[in-house]
Amino acid sequence: MFDTVLVANRGEIAVRVVRTLRALGVRSVAVFSDADADARHVREADTAVRIGPAAATESYLRVDRLLEAAARTGAQAVHPGYGFLAENAGFARACEAAGLVFIGPPADAIALMGDKIRAKETVAAAGVPVVPGGRDPDLTEAARALGAPVLLKPSAGGGGKGMRLVRDLAVLAEEIAAARREARASFGDDTLLVERWVDRPRHIEIQVLADGHGGVVHLGERECSLQRRHQKIVEEAPSVLLDEATRAAMGEAAVQAARSCGYRGAGTVEFIVPGSDPSSYWFMEMNTRLQVEHPVTELVTGLDLVEWQLRVAAGEPLGFTQDEVRLTGHAVEARLCAEDPARGFLPSGGTVLRLREPEGDGVRTDSGLSEGTEVGSLYDPMLAKVIGYGPDRETALRRLRAALAGTVTLGVRTNAGFLRRLLAHPAVVAGELDTGLVEREVDGLVAGDVPEEVYEAAAAVRLEALRPKGEGWTDPFSVPSGWRLGGTPRPPSFPLRVGDPVEHTPRGTHTVTDETVSVTLDGVRHTFRRAGDWLGRDGDAWQVRDHDPVGAALSRAGRAGADSLTAPMPGTVTVVKVAVGDEVSAGQSLLVVEAMKMEHLISAPHAGTVTELDVAPGTTVAMDQVLAVVAPADAPADAPAHPPADAPVPAPVPEEK
């Protein structure tokens, strides 16, 4: 076994790998960018090395700096985690050339399976069924031969990036161009392939382990059919769809796929399965690394996959045979991401002001978070994974829903509440899954109007802050009781805003502490976690700001005759298609903002003229920052986009005295 291992990653997977290294008595070396100087993985490792500025291209993707960090700390091996350089054959070769053991498969296997076209050809030759499709340069011809719908996929990548479902071949050329652009940006290679689309498919993958002595086993399957925008959000093991015979057949196909490329280490073979006929399954791709969802396999097999990655990389044979693999119980994992479901799942950011991660019987949390963590737009939005385990699927789901309800990440909007509602959906509970279920049901799973008790709790916090502190005499005029000289008492009210502004007057009883606020309305007690102007309950969170009606009125007056286009998320402007003075049509694309590997198109709200443009490609922007202003075509030529400095301020409405 190694003495020292460098973990070439960040966030929750780096923390996860460090945990196993510590258990094995192996010294761990973390690496970090300037943005991660105080990150949890840095603090939990035995030592840490700065490798560059915040941008991943200048830090976590710099092979030279990673190898230098390994040399400086005496590391003998490198664990790449997932993402970044985990499936980069060049990195694996560079480690080998530097005398380091790459804890993963051989570079040739990475290169082969990283090319989806060659991968399909290789496993097909080994007798593994593959999805019908075609490849560049005959992409258009192949798509038309298959007939709509078809799925466009980057040959060099995964994780749903660059994938396009095309149901109308009339827009095929446009979708191909978009897929190429995203593939080039994500993987540096815009080669595409096209596959037949299976309506309401199920996504099932097989975990494999291979040593350097000819031993290859599979560890059962994971169902990954709950996806949004081709990204997995919930995974479970085993799948309710497969019987023992199908499980054995798919497992053997996965083993043959691994043997076909000379695989070594932990890997995953992904299949697409028609829900109506589980015995018909097709190879999609092989992920030559540890998967995000590996904890569910660990829980049902009792094996530590990171430990076995290390042992195999150190030259040890597998200590068990296929017949000795047993699946016990059921596990379900949910990915906690920095995104705002109420705003179309746009990436979110901020500082983690209050953190409470679930624990207890049958609950596991893999996380890279700590209080004070700054979540920005530079890296992947996944923050943590919450896993429920039990003797059966019903118990695992129940424990996971409860764990998500108890998850608190105030200061950063997450999808915890959305995931909890998804896991309670009747189709999910019944195991009637497919890859399109989430998209079909999404509107009913996103939190609706802000409950009254949220405003009540926010008002209670503000009311409590007004109360005089300390002992001794209290000026009765300083007590927020609503008492007025010679008049009927008028309880204080608070102008608040989550979405639309409201004026809220507390009407219930409340208890406020540094970390919680409880309010009782109509005999029902509601308890929230709190931090700053954030409130959280059952996985949902609200930032309840004070509303300034005067400032809002001024803003509305300033925007008369023009519309400001603002950033929907913190990120970086990557494309600017217009200039000041350009005439644009309604819906015309003007800019592209990218955050957490996701592009968002900014379009003209109406026909008109671009009167302001405050950004350029490469500009870093905050959420709600003004990017451009488009004056409507029918607006007066001299209508200002913003109020002049000497514009009169609307007079506030006087309060009743």
Distance between first and last Cα of the chain: 79
| Same domain for 358 and 215 | no
| Same domain for 136 and 123 | no
Kindly tell me if the per-residue pLDDT of 235 is higher than 50. Answer: yes
Separation between Cα atoms, residue 539 and residue 405, nearest integer Å? 5
| Same domain for 256 and 120 | yes
Longest alpha-carbon distance in the chain:
93
Kindly tell me if the per-residue pLDDT of 625 is higher than 80. Answer: yes
Cα angle 17, 19, 21; round to 5: 70
* Cis-peptide, bond into residue 137, ω within 30° of zero: yes
Going by pLDDT thresholds of 50, 70 and 90, the confidence category of residue 637 is very low
pLDDT at 601: 86
DSSP per-residue codes, 616-636? -TT-EE-TT-EEEEEEETTS-
Domain boundary among 196, 216, 242: 196
Cβ atoms of 347 and 569 within 8 Å: the answer is yes
Domain boundary among 196, 230, 250: 196
| Same domain for 20 and 151 | no
| Same domain for 340 and 265 | no
Share of the chain above pLDDT 70, in %: 90
Among left, alpha and beta (phi > 0; psi -120 to 50; other), residue 544 is beta
- Judge whether 647 lies within some domain: no
Cβ atoms of 55 and 378 within 8 Å: the answer is yes
Convert the pLDDT of each residue in 336-346 to its tens digit.
Answer: 999 999 988 98
- Judge whether 650 lies within some domain: no
Residue 23 neighbours by CB distance under 10 Å = 11
| Same domain for 220 and 314 | yes
Most confident of 184-193, 281-290, 604-613, 635-644: 281-290
Q: Are strands 47-52 and 27-33 parallel, antiparallel or unpaired?
A: parallel
Cβ atoms of 268 and 82 within 8 Å: the answer is no
| Same domain for 372 and 252 | no
pLDDT at 155: 87
- Judge whether 483 lies within some domain: no
pLDDT at 624: 79
- Judge whether 362 lies within some domain: yes
Domain that holds residue 29: 4-103
Separation between Cα atoms, residue 50 and residue 37, nearest integer Å? 8
| Same domain for 411 and 390 | yes
pLDDT at 630: 92
Name the average pLDDT for the chain: 90
Domain count, the chain: 6
Separation between Cα atoms, residue 402 and residue 421, nearest integer Å? 11
- Judge whether 385 lies within some domain: yes
| Same domain for 243 and 137 | no
Q: Which amino acid does the sequence have at 78?
A: V
Q: Which residue has the higher pLDDT, 411 or 657?
A: 411
Convert the pLDDT of each residue in 564-590 to its tens digit.
Answer: 888 887 888 989 999 999 999 988 989
Residue 430: which CATH number?
Answer: 3.30.470.20
| Same domain for 272 and 341 | no
| Same domain for 439 and 290 | no
pLDDT at 650: 38
- Judge whether 637 lies within some domain: no
Domain boundary among 546, 568, 587: 546
Contacts of 269 (CB under 8 A, 6+ apart): 205, 206, 208, 253, 254, 257, 258, 283, 286
- Judge whether 27 lies within some domain: yes
Alpha helical stretches, state H, 169-243: 172-187
Convert the pLDDT of each residue in 77-135 to its tens digit.
Answer: 999 999 999 999 999 999 999 999 999 999 999 999 999 889 999 999 999 999 888 88
Tokens of 605: 């709200």
Most confident of 152-156, 314-318, 482-486: 314-318
Residue 147: which CATH number?
Answer: 3.30.1490.20
Kindly tell me if the per-residue pLDDT of 481 is higher than 80. Answer: no
| Same domain for 223 and 175 | no
Average pLDDT of the residues in 455-468: 90
- Judge whether 656 lies within some domain: no
pLDDT at 553: 55
Average pLDDT of the residues in 548-553: 63
